[in-house]
């Protein structure tokens, strides 16, 4: 019996392709508790602490992608050496050449794993041979750590950052496990100065960490997973089996699902980092409260939108080369941002629609229509209503398994919609609708009210904070499905 138990535990430490280690899994909770105890003991040890966290981070990534963790190690080694060489290079052409090597290494890695089959399909079509998809496994979070590593070499090239002289510092930065597999994308300039600071977790930091972890877990494991499995997935799997009302509510459900899923992960990542004494910037700021599409992208996946702005949009010329070029740059940036999510026409269409909307908003940005004080709230409401529904419309193409699925869903909404089934719909999906209502209420709650709740959690004694987490875990257990659902952005 004892041997069997040891074998079972050892098996849990081995990578299983269908069971990546997630923040919302019991295994992570157990391992993190052990890790945290040792981390505190090593807090003043400097190099020992760095090595310990790096090893745990690599194990965390191994549990997510198996031996593909060696890609992460390779990326760290290559960009560390290249950044040092860029910093020492005297001539501009040398620095440019070294940066190009970094770009080719990172984007080549990303290109093979994410776009290998798309390139192979195009090649097969161009030479007239049958297309047989390659068996390419997409390592979890490869887009995130390549973008993070690439931003470092670009900053060194631009002269805004000095190259690191210690390999362990750079390895710690890129592999740091809270944000490794699904962001947020952390900038070297923000993170590196924190590495050698003495471990300090104030009462406020600890309270905020508990709040973020508990709320993130609730958003992901209760709201997102439940409405996904019990409603949204069924609609998008076969929209023609459902009425226009059900399809429309499925779109609203997915808008909430992807927000709760991704912002929930970001909240947990930021909270876990806080427990370790590190500060990450906010990654979501109530994006569906936006009153225009530009504001939406200042609130949604902030680390990616700012990355695209600083390293792609500005590199293309930004708004420095005339209005027409500005609009083209916006469109190209969002098209490539869509392609970042996957090698599919659907993602490019999603990005392209947002690019056109951003350009259009910039065109009309100087138009000022004066409203009376009484009508100002109508303007704000109408702007928010239109922005939210445009974003929801774009989510259809992002989520649908094919363009045909997207077309079928839209056809059902516009040609098979009836209010007569509302009572039956409410009765049949009461639990889903209640969670959707709760999710949107949490999202649209004023920031001041959210801050007050966070302050209240922070003021609780340790036992009170433990009770908050226990209540969330109990709720998760009550609504969880047979298996733990992976985070949506793991596939990107």
What positions carry a catalytic annotation? 341
Q: Alpha-carbon distance 122 to 112, whole Å?
A: 14
Cis amide bond preceding 303, omega within 30: no
Helix (H) or strand (E) holding 329: helix 323-340
Q: What are phi and psi of 483, to 5 degrees?
A: -130, 160
DSSP secondary-structure letter at 181?
T
Q: Supply 430's token pair.
A: 């009461």
Spatial neighbors of 246 by CB under 8 A, at least 6 apart, are 235, 425
CA dihedral over 479, 480, 481, 487, signed as positive or negative: positive
Q: DSSP alpha helices (H): ranges in 200-243?
A: 203-217, 225-227, 233-237
Q: Alpha-carbon distance 255 to 395, whole Å?
A: 7
Q: Alpha-carbon distance 136 to 389, whole Å?
A: 36
Spatial neighbors of 272 by CB under 8 A, at least 6 apart, are 23, 32, 178, 209, 213
Q: Which of 204, 241, 173, 288 is nearest to 416 (CA)?
A: 241
Q: Are 205 and 300 in contact (CB under 8 A)?
A: no
């Amino acid at each position: 019996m004892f041997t069997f138990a040891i074998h079972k535990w050892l098996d849990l430490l081995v990578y299983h392709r269908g069971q990546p280690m997630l923040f919302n899994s019991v295994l992570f909770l157990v391992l993190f508790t052990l890790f945290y105890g040792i981390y505190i003991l090593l807090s003043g040890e400097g190099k020992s602490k760095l090595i310990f966290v790096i090893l745990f981070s690599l194990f965390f990534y191994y549990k997510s992608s198996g031996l593909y963790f060696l890609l992460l190690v390779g990326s760290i080694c290559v960009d560390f050496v290249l950044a040092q060489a860029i910093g020492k290079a005297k001539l501009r052409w040398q620095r440019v050449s070294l940066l190009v090597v970094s770009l080719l290494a990172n984007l080549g890695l990303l290109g093979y794993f994410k776009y290998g089959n798309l390139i192979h399909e195009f090649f097969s079509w161009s030479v007239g041979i049958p297309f047989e998809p390659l068996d390419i496994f997409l390592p979890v979070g490869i887009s995130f750590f390549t973008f993070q590593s690439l931003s470092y070499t670009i900053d060194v090239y631009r002269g805004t950052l000095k190259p690191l002289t210690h390999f362990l510092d750079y390895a710690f930065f890129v592999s740091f496990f809270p944000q490794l597999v699904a962001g947020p994308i952390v900038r070297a300039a923000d993170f590196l100065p924190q590495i050698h600071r003495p471990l300090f977790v104030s009462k406020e930091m600890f309270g905020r960490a508990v709040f973020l972890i508990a709320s993130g877990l609730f958003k992901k494991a209760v709201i997102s997973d439940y409405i996904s499995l019990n409603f949204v997935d069924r609609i998008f799997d076969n929209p023609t089996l459902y009425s226009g009302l059900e399809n429309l509510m499925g779109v609203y459900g997915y808008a909430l699902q992807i927000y709760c899923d991704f912002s929930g992960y970001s909240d947990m990542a930021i909270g876990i980092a806080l427990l370790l004494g590190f500060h990450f910037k906010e990654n979501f700021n109530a994006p569906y409260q936006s009153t225009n599409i530009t504001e939406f992208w200042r609130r949604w996946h902030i680390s990616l939108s700012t990355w695209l702005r600083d390293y792609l949009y500005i590199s293309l010329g930004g708004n420095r080369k005339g209005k027409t070029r500005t609009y083209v740059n916006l469109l190209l940036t969002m098209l490539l941002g869509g392609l970042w999510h996957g090698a599919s026409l659907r993602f490019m269409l999603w990005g392209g629609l947002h690019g056109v909307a951003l350009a259009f908003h910039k065109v009309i940005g100087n138009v000022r229509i004066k409203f009376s004080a009484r009508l100002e709230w109508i303007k704000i409401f109408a702007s928010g209503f239109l922005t939210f529904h445009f974003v929801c419309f774009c989510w259809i193409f992002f989520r649908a398994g094919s363009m045909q699925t997207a077309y079928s869903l839209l056809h059902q909404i516009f040609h098979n919609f009836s209010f007569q089934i509302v009572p039956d719909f409410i009765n049949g999906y009461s639990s889903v609708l209640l969670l959707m209502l709760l999710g949107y209420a949490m999202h649209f709650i004023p920031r001041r009210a959210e801050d007050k709740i966070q302050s209240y959690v922070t003021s609780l004694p340790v036992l009170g904070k433990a009770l908050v987490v226990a209540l969330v875990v109990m709720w998760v257990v009550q609504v969880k499905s047979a298996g733990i659902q992976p985070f949506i952005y793991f596939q990107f």
